[in-house]
Amino acid sequence: MTAEVAQDKLGEKKGLSLWQVMLIVTTGITITICEWVFAYQNVAWGISIALGLTIVIYLVLSTLRLDRRITNCGESLALIPLYILFTSSLPWFFINQQYLLPAVYSCILGLCLWHTYKKGLNLKLIFGFSKKKLLKYSLIGLMVGIPSGVAEYFVLQPAPAFPGFNIGGFFRDLAYMLLFVGMAEEFLFRGLIQQDFTEAFGWKWGLLASSTLFAVMHLTWRSVPELGFVFIAGLILGALYLKTKSLVAPIIAHGINNVMLVAVLPYIFMR
């Protein structure tokens, strides 16, 4: 692909220069390398790369004259190494494992909220909550989350958490998955990254970029089928966000998928 074609496909229509587009592509590739090093090579090096990458991104965004949309993309991309840094560098072993999930995801939600606040973004617009459509979007999320949870169950076949189905455990997982995991991940990947990429490069590239990054961040699973599943799931969740302009359906779908995966299906198919 020639430089001109690439420029045309990625940015010229939106008035972005090729070097700026390449800057974002390079950042995405570096994030992938960082995650790969973190998962497969050396955790310490992975964290160090994440730290270095954050510094470089901020240095570049602050010193170079960049298009506002590229700056926005760069800033939302910087949240990923910051997130890696945050979650992998705190002494989480001090916290009891049953409280770990809300504790960790509180940090991610805090980071995303801080980013939103500093950039003066409209939280209502990002989340797109609407009382009128809440039920409709929740049902859509439910209808997507249940089959995707079944599909992921057969990809991973996780072991049950308790010896038998536990109603307390079920509701705990439901709350964790909807209010923390689903909300934090959808906020970051769909609400911030996809939104900024869509504004800069159009909806197709926005959807592709956020889904690819979503899959890249699952490299630590070290499973190709799971990686493929996560990429497709990212596309579906991103499409839901595009279609509904609200995070309600993606959050519900994500949360229900996880609940099906860990709190329902392992007990139905228990060996």
- Taking CB under 8 A as the criterion, the residue among 1, 15, 68, 96 binding another protein is 96
Q: Which is nearer to another protein, 25 or 121 (CB)?
A: 121
User: Strand, coil or helix: what is 164?
Assistant: coil
* Least distance from another protein to the Cβ atom of residue 20, Å: 17
How far apart CA 43 and CA 47 sit, in angstroms, is 6
How far apart CA 168 and CA 132 sit, in angstroms, is 31
Total chain residues near another protein (CB under 8 A): 85
Footprint of another protein on 47-86 (CB under 8 A): 47-48, 51, 54-55, 58-59, 61-63, 75, 80, 82-86
- 44 lies in the site for another protein, by CB under 8 A: yes
- Any idea which residue has 């509180």 for tokens? 106
- 41 lies in the site for another protein, by CB under 8 A: no
- 175 lies in the site for another protein, by CB under 8 A: no
- 245 lies in the site for another protein, by CB under 8 A: no
Helix or strand (DSSP H, E) at 19: helix 18-36
Task: Provide the greatest CA pair distance for the chain.
Answer: 60
User: Please, what is the Cα angle at 14 between 10 and 17, to 5 degrees?
Assistant: 65
- 271 lies in the site for another protein, by CB under 8 A: yes
- Taking CB under 8 A as the criterion, the residue among 37, 183, 251, 261 binding another protein is 261
In terms of Cα–Cα distance, which of 266, 30, 246, 10 is closest to 162?
A: 266
* Least distance from another protein to the Cβ atom of residue 3, Å: 28
Q: Which is nearer to another protein, 7 or 145 (CB)?
A: 145
Q: What's the one-letter identity of residue 4?
A: E
* Least distance from another protein to the Cβ atom of residue 158, Å: 4
Other Cβ atoms less than 10 A from the Cβ of 200: the count is 25
Name the one range near another protein by CB under 8 A: 1-9, 19-27, 95-103, 202-210.
95-103
Q: Which is nearer to another protein, 108 or 208 (CB)?
A: 108
- 225 lies in the site for another protein, by CB under 8 A: no
* Least distance from another protein to the Cβ atom of residue 55, Å: 7
Name the one range near another protein by CB under 8 A: 10-18, 136-144, 193-201, 256-264.
256-264
Footprint of another protein on 121-140 (CB under 8 A): 123
List Cβ<8 Å contacts ≥24 apart for 61-66: 66/20, 66/23
Q: Which residues make Cβ contacts (< 8 Å) with residue 228, sequence separation at least 6?
A: 215
Retrieve residue 123's tokens: 């939280």
